Amino acid sequence: QVQLQESGPGLVKPSQAPSLTCTVSGCSITTNGYYWSWIRQPPGKGLEWIGYIAYSGSTYYIPSLKSRTAISRDTSTNQFTLHVKSVTPEDTAVYYCAGGPPQTSVQAMSEYDYWGQGTQVTVSS
């Protein structure tokens, strides 16, 4: 049984650089063909895909967030981490990690089999 669990700072101040970690159990993040993504949902809005780190370690980010985000991984602990720079109140959202072997599009959230429960990040002074 594959399970994902997010952990994050909760409340951060504008301009800070928080990190959120997703701990994966039941499946190695290096499993061939698997992609591990971060997705967020701002209050009152839809889901927004942020980026992924692939089983190979390669990464990709949505262009609008590319300059402020990075995803890294620790294969020894089977975790992957989202790093966000210079946050503003517009980054306030529930952040989800998701994973699986997408069949047609890595950016199609419906193709991810496994999701965490989400962690709230609020940016406020």
CA separation (Å) from 4 to 68, 77, 118? 24, 13, 9
Residue range 6-26: average pLDDT? 97
Taking the C-alpha atoms of residue 24 and residue 6, their distance in angstroms, rounded to an integer, is: 9
Per-residue model confidence (pLDDT) at position 109: 87
In DSSP notation, 80-105 reads EEEEE-S--GGG-EEEEEEEE--SS-
Residue range 18-36: average pLDDT? 97
Which pair of structure tokens corresponds to residue 12?
């951060």
Residue 97 CA, distance from chain mean position: 4
At 10, the pLDDT band (50, 70, 90 cuts) reads: very high
User: What's the pLDDT tens digit per position in 60-81?
Assistant: 999 999 999 999 999 999 999 9
Taking the C-alpha atoms of residue 11 and residue 65, their distance in angstroms, rounded to an integer, is: 20
Which pair of structure tokens corresponds to residue 40?
């967020």
Taking the C-alpha atoms of residue 16 and residue 36, their distance in angstroms, rounded to an integer, is: 24
User: What's the pLDDT tens digit per position in 47-60?
Assistant: 999 999 999 999 99
Per-residue model confidence (pLDDT) at position 8: 93
